Structure 1
Amino acid sequence: MRFRRAQPPEEAEINLIPLIDVLLVLLIFLTATTTFARFGTLGVALPAAGETQMEAGAPLHLEVSADGRVALEGQTLASEPGSLAAALRAAAQGRESPLLVIYADAQASHQSVVDVMQAARAAGIGRLSFGAQDAQRPAGP
């Protein structure tokens, strides 16, 4: 009688080489796709706000309220571009390269500000600036 010795069962083994291959392919794919995302953005240099020296000659001040009403130097005007352009032309008369400073309310519609800019162009005012409130100081007296 021949007795056989029982052979020990083979130990389970995880083959890591296919796992490493898959992870390497995923790593290469992720690296390649994230570098393309950087080229899709625009390189925009944002302007910095600060106190600037005003040039000689007083600028024209124009306010645009939240509901679209327009006031030039404190006088309320019609907000139609044609009549606004006539008022701007009359106010800029006699000034050499006048500057128009637009103070638009934060809630004013984009269209009302564009209408003011269009009227300024029609009036021959080529220099525009936008007034802003200093973020460090609260509004009011």
Structure 2
Amino acid sequence: MNFKRQNKETVDVNLTPLIDVVFLLLIFFMVSTTFTKENHLSIDLPEASAEQQPVATNRLEIIITASGSYSINDKNLINNQLDTLKRGLVKAANGEKGLPVTITADANTPHQAVVRAMDAAGQTGFVNLSITTRKTNAE
């Protein structure tokens, strides 16, 4: 028996048109995309979902206004320097380092003012810090 081998034709897939289309799509998306420059970050203020904590009778409350001025237990400080804030905390605590410290800041307060209050409390030895939040309107 004499079998003849069949010649197989090689099938080639031409990828050139596919590559052309992909590059055209890439160029189209690059040209049509608009880039916006963000000048500020939008940050949502923290909101509490738990019940209000009972207020301790002996506590320190640091209130920070929108301009960055401080008051400790409703007594305004003369300036917003770190040393003044630390002296005010020590004076208001009367040597008690275990008092809870509550930091209440206006929504427009610079973050640096809140961080300065936290630094002052930490450097003077207070470890029980809390930051107040506003309750959500949905509840």
1:128: how far off?
0.5
Deviation readout 1:78-132 (Å, 9 max, x if unpaired): 2111111011012122436111100011111110101111111122111110112
Q: Distance in 1 between matches of 2:98 and 2:116?
A: 20
User: What letter matches 2:54 in structure 1?
Assistant: M
User: Is there any run of 5+ residues in structure 2 with no aligned partner, and where?
Assistant: 1-17, 19-46
Q: Does the 8 A contact of 2:68 with 2:113 survive in 1? A: yes
**What is residue 90 of structure 1 aligned with on the other side?**
91
Say if 1:104 and 1:95 are closer, same or farther in 2 by CA, change over 3 A: same
Q: Distance in 2 between matches of 1:109 and 1:56?
A: 27
Moved more, 51-60 or 101-110: 51-60
Q: Distance in 2 between matches of 1:63 and 1:48?
A: 18
Say if 1:49 and 1:76 are closer, same or farther in 2 by CA, change over 3 A: same
| Structure-1-length-normalised TM-score | 0.57
SS at match of 1:116: helix
Aligned length: 100
Q: Distance in 2 between matches of 1:75 and 1:119?
A: 17
Structure with higher RCO (Cα < 8 A, 6+ apart): 2
Runs of 4+ in 1 over 6 A off after TM superposition: none
More helix by share: 1
**What is residue 58 of structure 1 aligned with on the other side?**
58
Q: Does the 8 A contact of 2:70 with 2:76 survive in 1? A: yes
